[in-house]
Amino acid sequence: MREIDAKTITDAVESLCIDAACDLGQDVEQLISDAAKKESLPRAQYILNQLIDNIKLAREQQMPICQDTGMAVVFVEMGQDVHITGGYIIDAINEGVRSGYTKGYLRKSVVSNPIERINTGDNTPAIIHVEMVPGSSLSITVVPKGFGSENMSALKMLKPADGIDGIKAFVLDTVKAAGGNPCPPVILGIGIGGTMEKAAYIAKKALLRDAGQPNPNESVASLEQELLHAINALGIGPQGLGGTVTALAVHIETFATHIAGLPVAINMQCHASRHKTAVL
Amino acid sequence: MEIKSIVSPLSKAAIDDLNAGDMVKMTGIIYTARDAAHKRMIQLINQNLPLPFDIAGQTIYYAGPCPPKPGQVIGSAGPTTSSRVDTYTPPLLARGLNAMIGKGPRSRAVIDAMVKYKAVYLAATGGAGALIANCIKKADIVAFEDLGPEAIYRLVVEDLPLIVAIDCHGNSLYS
Protein backbone atom coordinates (compact mmCIF):
# COMPACT_ATOMS: atom_id res chain seq x y z
CA MET A 1 0.00 0.00 0.00
CA ARG A 2 1.40 3.39 -1.02
CA GLU A 3 0.47 6.43 1.00
CA ILE A 4 -0.22 9.82 -0.60
CA ASP A 5 -0.87 12.85 1.55
CA ALA A 6 -4.03 14.84 0.83
CA LYS A 7 -1.98 18.04 0.80
CA THR A 8 0.08 16.70 -2.14
CA ILE A 9 -3.18 16.26 -4.07
CA THR A 10 -4.32 19.80 -3.20
CA ASP A 11 -1.01 21.30 -4.37
CA ALA A 12 -1.11 19.32 -7.63
CA VAL A 13 -4.68 20.40 -8.40
CA GLU A 14 -3.84 24.04 -7.65
CA SER A 15 -1.01 24.06 -10.24
CA LEU A 16 -3.04 22.10 -12.78
CA CYS A 17 -5.91 24.63 -12.64
CA ILE A 18 -3.55 27.54 -13.37
CA ASP A 19 -1.50 25.71 -16.02
CA ALA A 20 -4.57 24.46 -17.84
CA ALA A 21 -6.12 27.94 -17.95
CA CYS A 22 -3.03 29.71 -19.30
CA ASP A 23 -1.04 27.19 -21.32
CA LEU A 24 -2.91 25.53 -24.19
CA GLY A 25 -1.51 22.17 -25.35
CA GLN A 26 0.83 22.13 -28.37
CA ASP A 27 -1.51 19.60 -30.02
CA VAL A 28 -4.41 22.06 -30.20
CA GLU A 29 -2.11 24.95 -31.14
CA GLN A 30 -0.74 22.90 -34.05
CA LEU A 31 -4.24 22.10 -35.35
CA ILE A 32 -5.22 25.80 -35.21
CA SER A 33 -2.01 26.76 -37.09
CA ASP A 34 -2.72 24.12 -39.74
CA ALA A 35 -6.30 25.41 -39.99
CA ALA A 36 -5.10 29.00 -40.50
CA LYS A 37 -2.97 27.85 -43.44
CA LYS A 38 -5.86 25.92 -45.01
CA GLU A 39 -8.56 28.56 -44.50
CA SER A 40 -9.24 30.66 -47.60
CA LEU A 41 -11.86 33.15 -46.37
CA PRO A 42 -10.01 36.31 -45.18
CA ARG A 43 -12.24 37.02 -42.17
CA ALA A 44 -11.88 33.42 -41.01
CA GLN A 45 -8.10 33.77 -41.31
CA TYR A 46 -8.33 37.04 -39.36
CA ILE A 47 -9.96 35.09 -36.51
CA LEU A 48 -7.62 32.08 -36.62
CA ASN A 49 -4.57 34.36 -36.56
CA GLN A 50 -6.02 36.08 -33.47
CA LEU A 51 -6.36 32.69 -31.81
CA ILE A 52 -2.71 31.89 -32.49
CA ASP A 53 -1.57 35.27 -31.11
CA ASN A 54 -3.85 34.75 -28.13
CA ILE A 55 -2.33 31.37 -27.26
CA LYS A 56 1.18 32.86 -27.33
CA LEU A 57 0.23 35.95 -25.29
CA ALA A 58 -1.55 33.82 -22.69
CA ARG A 59 1.50 31.60 -22.29
CA GLU A 60 3.97 34.53 -22.11
CA GLN A 61 1.88 36.62 -19.72
CA GLN A 62 0.46 33.73 -17.68
CA MET A 63 -2.99 35.05 -18.46
CA PRO A 64 -6.02 32.80 -19.04
CA ILE A 65 -6.57 31.96 -22.72
CA CYS A 66 -10.27 32.63 -22.22
CA GLN A 67 -12.01 34.54 -19.43
CA ASP A 68 -14.38 31.61 -19.02
CA THR A 69 -11.97 29.54 -16.98
CA GLY A 70 -14.77 27.08 -16.65
CA MET A 71 -16.18 24.74 -14.12
CA ALA A 72 -13.29 22.50 -13.07
CA VAL A 73 -13.87 18.92 -14.18
CA VAL A 74 -11.37 16.61 -12.51
CA PHE A 75 -10.70 13.06 -13.65
CA VAL A 76 -8.86 10.91 -11.13
CA GLU A 77 -7.42 7.49 -11.84
CA MET A 78 -6.60 6.03 -8.48
CA GLY A 79 -4.43 2.96 -8.19
CA GLN A 80 -6.11 0.43 -5.93
CA ASP A 81 -2.90 0.18 -3.89
CA VAL A 82 -2.98 3.87 -2.98
CA HIS A 83 -4.06 5.02 0.46
CA ILE A 84 -4.82 8.74 0.95
CA THR A 85 -3.74 10.10 4.32
CA GLY A 86 -4.46 13.37 6.08
CA GLY A 87 -7.87 14.06 4.55
CA TYR A 88 -10.66 13.05 2.21
CA ILE A 89 -9.67 13.00 -1.49
CA ILE A 90 -12.72 14.98 -2.65
CA ASP A 91 -12.07 17.74 -0.09
CA ALA A 92 -8.40 17.79 -1.09
CA ILE A 93 -9.31 18.29 -4.77
CA ASN A 94 -11.84 21.03 -4.01
CA GLU A 95 -9.27 22.78 -1.83
CA GLY A 96 -6.85 22.70 -4.80
CA VAL A 97 -9.50 24.19 -7.09
CA ARG A 98 -10.31 26.89 -4.53
CA SER A 99 -6.69 27.87 -4.17
CA GLY A 100 -5.80 27.55 -7.89
CA TYR A 101 -8.68 29.78 -9.00
CA THR A 102 -7.84 32.35 -6.32
CA LYS A 103 -4.04 32.42 -6.68
CA GLY A 104 -4.24 32.21 -10.48
CA TYR A 105 -6.71 35.13 -10.73
CA LEU A 106 -9.07 32.86 -12.65
CA ARG A 107 -12.74 33.74 -13.01
CA LYS A 108 -15.06 32.19 -10.45
CA SER A 109 -18.03 30.99 -12.44
CA VAL A 110 -19.78 28.49 -10.19
CA VAL A 111 -23.13 29.11 -8.49
CA SER A 112 -24.11 27.13 -5.40
CA ASN A 113 -27.52 26.06 -6.56
CA PRO A 114 -28.90 26.06 -10.09
CA ILE A 115 -32.14 27.75 -9.06
CA GLU A 116 -30.96 30.36 -6.53
CA ARG A 117 -27.70 30.98 -8.44
CA ILE A 118 -25.43 32.46 -5.76
CA ASN A 119 -21.75 32.53 -6.80
CA THR A 120 -19.69 30.37 -4.44
CA GLY A 121 -16.80 32.80 -4.86
CA ASP A 122 -14.08 30.19 -5.24
CA ASN A 123 -15.19 28.10 -8.23
CA THR A 124 -15.98 25.08 -6.08
CA PRO A 125 -17.38 22.51 -6.09
CA ALA A 126 -15.51 20.80 -8.90
CA ILE A 127 -17.06 17.98 -10.91
CA ILE A 128 -14.97 15.01 -9.80
CA HIS A 129 -14.83 11.56 -11.40
CA VAL A 130 -12.79 8.90 -9.64
CA GLU A 131 -11.96 5.62 -11.35
CA MET A 132 -10.14 2.78 -9.65
CA VAL A 133 -7.28 1.34 -11.67
CA PRO A 134 -4.60 -1.28 -10.96
CA GLY A 135 -1.31 -0.15 -9.47
CA SER A 136 -0.09 2.38 -6.95
CA SER A 137 -0.10 5.72 -8.74
CA LEU A 138 -2.63 8.51 -8.76
CA SER A 139 -3.32 10.39 -11.98
CA ILE A 140 -5.20 13.70 -11.86
CA THR A 141 -6.44 15.56 -14.93
CA VAL A 142 -8.02 18.99 -14.62
CA VAL A 143 -10.31 20.15 -17.43
CA PRO A 144 -11.56 23.75 -17.05
CA LYS A 145 -14.80 23.43 -19.03
CA GLY A 146 -16.25 26.63 -20.43
CA PHE A 147 -20.02 26.82 -20.81
CA GLY A 148 -20.26 28.53 -24.21
CA SER A 149 -19.47 25.13 -25.65
CA GLU A 150 -20.86 22.98 -22.81
CA ASN A 151 -24.30 24.55 -23.38
CA MET A 152 -24.27 23.33 -26.99
CA SER A 153 -23.74 19.70 -26.02
CA ALA A 154 -26.50 17.14 -26.58
CA LEU A 155 -27.53 13.59 -25.79
CA LYS A 156 -29.99 11.39 -27.60
CA MET A 157 -31.16 7.87 -26.98
CA LEU A 158 -31.23 6.57 -30.55
CA LYS A 159 -32.84 3.27 -31.49
CA PRO A 160 -30.62 0.45 -32.80
CA ALA A 161 -32.44 0.74 -36.16
CA ASP A 162 -31.24 4.36 -36.47
CA GLY A 163 -27.74 2.93 -36.90
CA ILE A 164 -24.76 4.81 -38.22
CA ASP A 165 -26.90 7.13 -40.37
CA GLY A 166 -28.85 8.16 -37.29
CA ILE A 167 -25.61 8.90 -35.45
CA LYS A 168 -24.27 11.04 -38.31
CA ALA A 169 -27.54 12.96 -38.64
CA PHE A 170 -27.63 13.67 -34.89
CA VAL A 171 -24.03 14.93 -34.89
CA LEU A 172 -24.53 17.21 -37.90
CA ASP A 173 -27.85 18.56 -36.59
CA THR A 174 -26.21 19.35 -33.24
CA VAL A 175 -23.28 21.18 -34.86
CA LYS A 176 -25.65 23.11 -37.16
CA ALA A 177 -27.91 24.14 -34.29
CA ALA A 178 -24.89 25.25 -32.27
CA GLY A 179 -23.63 27.50 -35.08
CA GLY A 180 -21.21 30.10 -33.77
CA ASN A 181 -22.19 29.71 -30.10
CA PRO A 182 -19.63 27.10 -28.98
CA CYS A 183 -16.72 29.20 -30.33
CA PRO A 184 -15.74 27.18 -33.39
CA PRO A 185 -13.42 25.78 -34.51
CA VAL A 186 -14.59 23.12 -32.08
CA ILE A 187 -13.45 19.70 -31.01
CA LEU A 188 -16.25 17.15 -30.64
CA GLY A 189 -16.16 14.47 -27.97
CA ILE A 190 -18.70 11.82 -28.90
CA GLY A 191 -19.70 8.89 -26.70
CA ILE A 192 -21.57 6.05 -28.36
CA GLY A 193 -23.07 3.17 -26.36
CA GLY A 194 -23.32 2.33 -22.67
CA THR A 195 -26.22 3.88 -20.78
CA MET A 196 -27.34 7.52 -20.72
CA GLU A 197 -24.71 8.68 -18.21
CA LYS A 198 -21.96 6.42 -19.57
CA ALA A 199 -22.34 7.90 -23.06
CA ALA A 200 -21.99 11.41 -21.62
CA TYR A 201 -19.00 10.39 -19.50
CA ILE A 202 -17.04 8.82 -22.36
CA ALA A 203 -17.93 11.79 -24.60
CA LYS A 204 -16.21 14.09 -22.13
CA LYS A 205 -13.29 11.69 -21.70
CA ALA A 206 -12.85 11.65 -25.48
CA LEU A 207 -11.84 15.33 -25.21
CA LEU A 208 -8.78 14.35 -23.17
CA ARG A 209 -7.19 12.58 -26.12
CA ASP A 210 -4.39 14.48 -27.92
CA ALA A 211 -6.31 16.66 -30.38
CA GLY A 212 -6.66 14.92 -33.72
CA GLN A 213 -5.34 11.57 -32.55
CA PRO A 214 -7.61 8.89 -34.06
CA ASN A 215 -9.48 6.18 -32.15
CA PRO A 216 -7.38 2.97 -32.27
CA ASN A 217 -10.31 1.08 -33.82
CA GLU A 218 -10.12 1.59 -37.58
CA SER A 219 -13.83 1.75 -38.31
CA VAL A 220 -14.37 4.26 -35.49
CA ALA A 221 -11.39 6.28 -36.75
CA SER A 222 -12.89 6.38 -40.22
CA LEU A 223 -16.23 7.57 -38.81
CA GLU A 224 -14.30 10.34 -37.01
CA GLN A 225 -12.76 11.44 -40.32
CA GLU A 226 -16.04 11.21 -42.20
CA LEU A 227 -17.81 13.36 -39.60
CA LEU A 228 -14.94 15.89 -39.54
CA HIS A 229 -15.22 16.38 -43.32
CA ALA A 230 -19.02 16.60 -43.19
CA ILE A 231 -18.90 19.18 -40.37
CA ASN A 232 -16.32 21.30 -42.19
CA ALA A 233 -18.48 21.22 -45.32
CA LEU A 234 -21.28 23.00 -43.38
CA GLY A 235 -19.53 26.37 -43.84
CA ILE A 236 -20.14 27.57 -40.25
CA GLY A 237 -16.48 28.53 -39.92
CA PRO A 238 -14.50 30.11 -37.08
CA GLN A 239 -16.90 31.88 -34.67
CA GLY A 240 -19.80 30.99 -36.95
CA LEU A 241 -18.93 33.80 -39.39
CA GLY A 242 -18.30 31.53 -42.37
CA GLY A 243 -15.31 29.55 -43.56
CA THR A 244 -14.07 26.03 -44.07
CA VAL A 245 -12.79 25.27 -40.57
CA THR A 246 -15.69 24.54 -38.21
CA ALA A 247 -14.12 21.61 -36.34
CA LEU A 248 -10.48 20.83 -35.59
CA ALA A 249 -11.11 17.21 -34.63
CA VAL A 250 -13.77 14.63 -33.87
CA HIS A 251 -13.01 12.14 -31.09
CA ILE A 252 -15.31 9.17 -30.65
CA GLU A 253 -15.29 6.69 -27.77
CA THR A 254 -17.54 3.65 -27.71
CA PHE A 255 -18.79 1.24 -25.05
CA ALA A 256 -20.91 -1.90 -24.98
CA THR A 257 -24.63 -1.21 -24.83
CA HIS A 258 -28.03 -2.89 -24.42
CA ILE A 259 -29.74 -4.80 -27.25
CA ALA A 260 -32.53 -2.20 -27.25
CA GLY A 261 -30.44 0.97 -27.23
CA LEU A 262 -28.00 3.25 -29.00
CA PRO A 263 -27.16 6.18 -26.70
CA VAL A 264 -25.16 8.98 -28.34
CA ALA A 265 -23.72 11.91 -26.39
CA ILE A 266 -21.96 14.87 -27.96
CA ASN A 267 -19.77 17.02 -25.76
CA MET A 268 -18.93 20.23 -27.56
CA GLN A 269 -15.55 21.76 -26.84
CA CYS A 270 -14.40 25.18 -28.04
CA HIS A 271 -10.96 25.70 -29.57
CA ALA A 272 -9.60 26.42 -26.07
CA SER A 273 -9.46 22.70 -25.33
CA ARG A 274 -7.71 22.90 -22.00
CA HIS A 275 -6.57 20.02 -19.84
CA LYS A 276 -3.48 19.21 -17.79
CA THR A 277 -2.48 15.99 -16.06
CA ALA A 278 -0.23 15.19 -13.11
CA VAL A 279 0.76 11.69 -12.03
CA LEU A 280 1.58 11.33 -8.34
CA MET B 1 -6.80 41.90 -45.97
CA GLU B 2 -8.38 45.36 -45.52
CA ILE B 3 -9.04 46.34 -41.92
CA LYS B 4 -11.02 49.51 -41.13
CA SER B 5 -10.25 51.61 -38.06
CA ILE B 6 -13.33 52.79 -36.15
CA VAL B 7 -13.83 54.92 -33.05
CA SER B 8 -16.33 54.23 -30.26
CA PRO B 9 -18.75 55.83 -29.48
CA LEU B 10 -19.71 55.40 -33.13
CA SER B 11 -21.55 58.12 -35.03
CA LYS B 12 -24.66 57.16 -37.04
CA ALA B 13 -22.66 57.98 -40.18
CA ALA B 14 -19.92 55.56 -39.14
CA ILE B 15 -22.53 52.87 -38.43
CA ASP B 16 -24.03 53.42 -41.87
CA ASP B 17 -20.60 52.80 -43.35
CA LEU B 18 -20.18 49.36 -41.77
CA ASN B 19 -21.25 46.30 -43.73
CA ALA B 20 -21.63 42.72 -42.55
CA GLY B 21 -18.30 40.99 -43.13
CA ASP B 22 -16.10 44.07 -42.62
CA MET B 23 -12.99 43.49 -40.53
CA VAL B 24 -12.38 46.37 -38.14
CA LYS B 25 -10.20 47.54 -35.27
CA MET B 26 -12.00 49.61 -32.66
CA THR B 27 -10.48 52.33 -30.48
CA GLY B 28 -12.35 54.30 -27.82
CA ILE B 29 -14.80 53.73 -24.98
CA ILE B 30 -17.04 50.71 -24.44
CA TYR B 31 -19.08 49.40 -21.48
CA THR B 32 -19.23 45.78 -20.33
CA ALA B 33 -22.55 44.21 -19.39
CA ARG B 34 -23.79 40.63 -19.36
CA ASP B 35 -26.86 38.74 -18.13
CA ALA B 36 -27.19 40.01 -14.56
CA ALA B 37 -26.29 43.65 -15.40
CA HIS B 38 -28.84 43.64 -18.24
CA LYS B 39 -31.51 42.28 -15.93
CA ARG B 40 -30.85 45.14 -13.49
CA MET B 41 -30.83 47.80 -16.24
CA ILE B 42 -34.22 46.59 -17.47
CA GLN B 43 -35.56 46.69 -13.88
CA LEU B 44 -34.38 50.33 -13.65
CA ILE B 45 -36.07 51.15 -16.97
CA ASN B 46 -39.30 49.50 -15.81
CA GLN B 47 -39.22 51.59 -12.63
CA ASN B 48 -38.51 54.77 -14.64
CA LEU B 49 -35.16 55.16 -12.87
CA PRO B 50 -32.00 56.41 -14.63
CA LEU B 51 -29.46 53.89 -15.95
CA PRO B 52 -26.01 53.88 -14.30
CA PHE B 53 -24.54 55.46 -17.45
CA ASP B 54 -26.07 57.39 -20.34
CA ILE B 55 -26.52 54.63 -22.88
CA ALA B 56 -27.38 56.94 -25.82
CA GLY B 57 -24.81 56.55 -28.58
CA GLN B 58 -22.72 54.07 -26.60
CA THR B 59 -21.28 50.61 -27.23
CA ILE B 60 -21.93 47.62 -24.95
CA TYR B 61 -19.50 44.72 -24.80
CA TYR B 62 -20.94 41.41 -23.57
CA ALA B 63 -18.12 40.26 -21.33
CA GLY B 64 -17.32 39.13 -17.82
CA PRO B 65 -13.55 39.41 -17.44
CA CYS B 66 -11.18 37.51 -15.17
CA PRO B 67 -9.90 39.48 -12.17
CA PRO B 68 -6.69 41.42 -12.90
CA LYS B 69 -3.43 40.33 -11.33
CA PRO B 70 -1.66 43.09 -9.36
CA GLY B 71 -0.36 45.61 -11.92
CA GLN B 72 -2.67 44.45 -14.72
CA VAL B 73 -5.47 46.63 -16.16
CA ILE B 74 -7.83 43.67 -16.51
CA GLY B 75 -7.73 39.89 -16.68
CA SER B 76 -8.63 37.78 -19.71
CA ALA B 77 -11.60 39.54 -21.32
CA GLY B 78 -13.15 37.78 -24.32
CA PRO B 79 -16.81 38.05 -25.38
CA THR B 80 -19.64 35.94 -24.03
CA THR B 81 -22.65 34.54 -25.94
CA SER B 82 -24.85 37.46 -26.99
CA SER B 83 -28.13 35.59 -27.41
CA ARG B 84 -28.50 35.33 -23.62
CA VAL B 85 -29.25 39.05 -23.48
CA ASP B 86 -31.47 39.14 -26.57
CA THR B 87 -34.67 39.61 -24.57
CA TYR B 88 -33.19 42.63 -22.77
CA THR B 89 -31.74 44.31 -25.88
CA PRO B 90 -34.60 46.00 -27.81
CA PRO B 91 -35.47 48.39 -24.90
CA LEU B 92 -31.80 49.43 -24.73
CA LEU B 93 -31.69 50.04 -28.49
CA ALA B 94 -34.84 52.16 -28.10
CA ARG B 95 -32.89 54.28 -25.58
CA GLY B 96 -30.14 54.94 -28.09
CA LEU B 97 -27.66 52.07 -27.69
CA ASN B 98 -25.60 52.29 -30.88
CA ALA B 99 -23.39 49.23 -30.98
CA MET B 100 -23.02 45.83 -29.36
CA ILE B 101 -20.00 43.55 -29.22
CA GLY B 102 -20.34 39.86 -28.43
CA LYS B 103 -20.30 36.45 -30.02
CA GLY B 104 -22.88 34.36 -31.81
CA PRO B 105 -26.19 35.12 -33.55
CA ARG B 106 -29.00 37.46 -32.39
CA SER B 107 -32.75 37.01 -32.37
CA ARG B 108 -35.08 38.36 -35.05
CA ALA B 109 -36.44 40.89 -32.54
CA VAL B 110 -32.94 42.26 -31.90
CA ILE B 111 -32.15 42.53 -35.61
CA ASP B 112 -35.47 44.30 -36.29
CA ALA B 113 -34.73 46.79 -33.49
CA MET B 114 -31.19 47.30 -34.86
CA VAL B 115 -32.63 48.26 -38.24
CA LYS B 116 -35.27 50.49 -36.66
CA TYR B 117 -32.78 52.40 -34.49
CA LYS B 118 -29.73 52.06 -36.78
CA ALA B 119 -27.37 50.02 -34.63
CA VAL B 120 -24.57 47.60 -35.42
CA TYR B 121 -23.50 44.26 -33.92
CA LEU B 122 -19.83 43.34 -33.98
CA ALA B 123 -18.33 39.95 -33.25
CA ALA B 124 -15.26 39.70 -31.06
CA THR B 125 -13.29 36.48 -31.16
CA GLY B 126 -14.58 34.13 -28.48
CA GLY B 127 -11.73 32.59 -26.56
CA ALA B 128 -9.20 35.28 -27.50
CA GLY B 129 -9.35 36.61 -23.93
CA ALA B 130 -5.66 37.36 -23.45
CA LEU B 131 -5.35 39.10 -26.83
CA ILE B 132 -8.40 41.27 -26.08
CA ALA B 133 -7.13 42.07 -22.55
CA ASN B 134 -3.99 43.43 -24.21
CA CYS B 135 -6.19 45.86 -26.21
CA ILE B 136 -7.80 47.22 -23.01
CA LYS B 137 -5.85 50.18 -21.66
CA LYS B 138 -8.11 51.25 -18.80
CA ALA B 139 -10.97 49.63 -16.86
CA ASP B 140 -13.16 51.36 -14.27
CA ILE B 141 -16.22 49.97 -12.49
CA VAL B 142 -19.32 52.04 -13.28
CA ALA B 143 -22.05 50.07 -11.51
CA PHE B 144 -23.19 46.85 -9.83
CA GLU B 145 -19.83 46.10 -8.20
CA ASP B 146 -21.54 43.39 -6.14
CA LEU B 147 -21.99 41.35 -9.33
CA GLY B 148 -18.24 40.63 -9.50
CA PRO B 149 -17.34 39.62 -13.06
CA GLU B 150 -20.82 40.74 -14.14
CA ALA B 151 -20.37 44.35 -12.95
CA ILE B 152 -20.51 47.15 -15.56
CA TYR B 153 -17.03 48.38 -16.48
CA ARG B 154 -16.08 51.36 -18.63
CA LEU B 155 -13.19 50.25 -20.83
CA VAL B 156 -10.78 52.25 -22.95
CA VAL B 157 -9.75 50.05 -25.87
CA GLU B 158 -7.15 50.37 -28.57
CA ASP B 159 -7.28 48.46 -31.86
CA LEU B 160 -9.74 45.86 -30.63
CA PRO B 161 -10.10 43.35 -33.53
CA LEU B 162 -13.75 42.79 -34.53
CA ILE B 163 -15.90 41.71 -37.45
CA VAL B 164 -19.19 43.35 -38.41
CA ALA B 165 -21.55 40.40 -37.92
CA ILE B 166 -24.91 42.16 -38.37
CA ASP B 167 -25.09 45.62 -39.94
CA CYS B 168 -27.70 48.35 -39.51
CA HIS B 169 -29.50 47.19 -42.65
CA GLY B 170 -30.14 43.78 -41.11
CA ASN B 171 -27.55 41.88 -43.15
CA SER B 172 -26.19 39.04 -41.03
CA LEU B 173 -23.20 36.74 -41.42
CA TYR B 174 -25.09 34.14 -39.40
CA SER B 175 -27.95 33.68 -41.89
Domain spans, chain A: 2-20+65-145, 148-273
Amino acid A188: pLDDT = 98
Q: Could you give the CA distance from residue A19 to residue A13 in angstroms, rounded to a whole number?
A: 10
pLDDT of residue A26: 96
Residue B27 is predicted with a pLDDT of 98
B135 and A CB contact within 8 Å:
no
pLDDT confidence of residue B1: 73
CA distance A69 to chain B (A): 8
Can B38 be counted among the known catalytic residues? yes
B85 touches chain A (CB under 8 A): no
d(CA A203, CA A189): 5
For residue B131, list chain A residues with Cβ-Cβ distance below 8 A: 50, 53-54, 57
Burial class (CB in 10 A: 0-12, 13-18, 19+), B37: buried
Q: Which residues of chain A have pLDDT under 70?
A: none
d(CA B129, CA B72): 14
Residue B175, in any domain of the structure: no
Closest-approach residue (CA) in chain A for B66: A107
How many CB atoms sit inside 10 A of residue A252's CB? 25
Residue A218 CB partners (closer than 8 Å, separation 6+): none
Number of domains in chain B: 1
Phi, psi angles (nearest 5°) of residue A22: -105, -20
Name the interface residues of A facing B (CB cutoff 8 Å).
Answer: 42-43, 45-47, 50-51, 53-54, 57-58, 61, 63-69, 105-109, 119, 146, 148, 151, 179-181, 183, 238-242, 270-272
Number of H helices, E strands in chain A: 8, 10
Nearest to A45 by CA among A244, A248, A270, A272: A244
pLDDT at site B175: 81
pLDDT of A117: 87
Amino acid, res. A37: K
Query: Residue B5 burial (CB < 10 Å; 0-12/13-18/19+)?
Result: exposed
Query: Which pLDDT belongs to residue B110?
Result: 98
Nearest to B105 among A57, A151, A180 (CB): A180
Measure B164 CA to nearest chain A CA, in Å.
10
Distances (CA, A) of A7 to A14, A147, B76: 11, 29, 29
What is the span of the domain harbouring residue B65? 3-166
Chain A residue numbers with beta carbons less than 8 Å from the beta carbon of B64 are 67, 107
Greatest extent of chain A over all pairs of C-alpha atoms, in Å: 59
Asked if A50 lies within 8 A of B129 by C-beta distance, the reply is no
CA angle (B134, B135, B140) in 5-degree steps: 95
The low-confidence residues of chain B, meaning pLDDT below 70, are none
Chain mean pLDDT for chain A = 97
Residues 6+ apart with CB under 8 A from B141: B151, B152, B153
Give the strands of the sheet with A138-145, arranged side by side: A127-133, A71-79, A138-145, A276-279
A234 DSSP 8-state letter: T
What is the structure's pLDDT at B67? 86
pLDDT at A25: 95
Distance from CA of A127 to the nearest CA of B (A): 21
First to last CA, chain B: 23
Tell me whether B130 touches chain A (CB under 8 Å). yes
Quick check: B149 contacting A, CB < 8 Å? yes
Report yes or no: A31 and A212 within 8 Å, Cβ to Cβ: yes
Enumerate the residues of chain A whose CB falls inside 8 A of the CB of residue B146.
none
The pLDDT value recorded for residue A122 is: 96
Which contiguous run of DSSP H or E holds residue B112? helix B108-117
Contact A211, A25 (CB under 8 A): yes
Write out residues 16-55 of B within 8 Å (CB-CB) of A.
21, 23
Interface probe with B: pick from A59, A106, A239, most Cβ of B within 10 Å: A239
Hey, what amino acid is at B17?
A: D
Cα separations in angstroms, A242 against A148, A233, A239, B156, B175: 19, 11, 8, 29, 10
CB A141, CB A275: distance < 8 Å: yes
Nearest residue of A to residue B122 by CA position? Answer: A241
The enclosing domain of B139 has a CATH number of: 3.20.130.10
Buried b (16+ CB within 10 A) or exposed e, A223-250: bbeebbebbbeeebbbbbbbbbbbbbbb
Q: Do residues A265 and A200 lie in contact, with contact meaning Cβ atoms separated by under 8 Å?
A: yes
In this structure, is residue B145 part of a structural domain? yes
Q: Which residues pair with A278 in a beta bridge?
A: A140
pLDDT of residue A190: 98
By Cβ distance, the residue of B65, B134, B174 closest to A180 is B174
- B28 assigned to some structural domain: yes
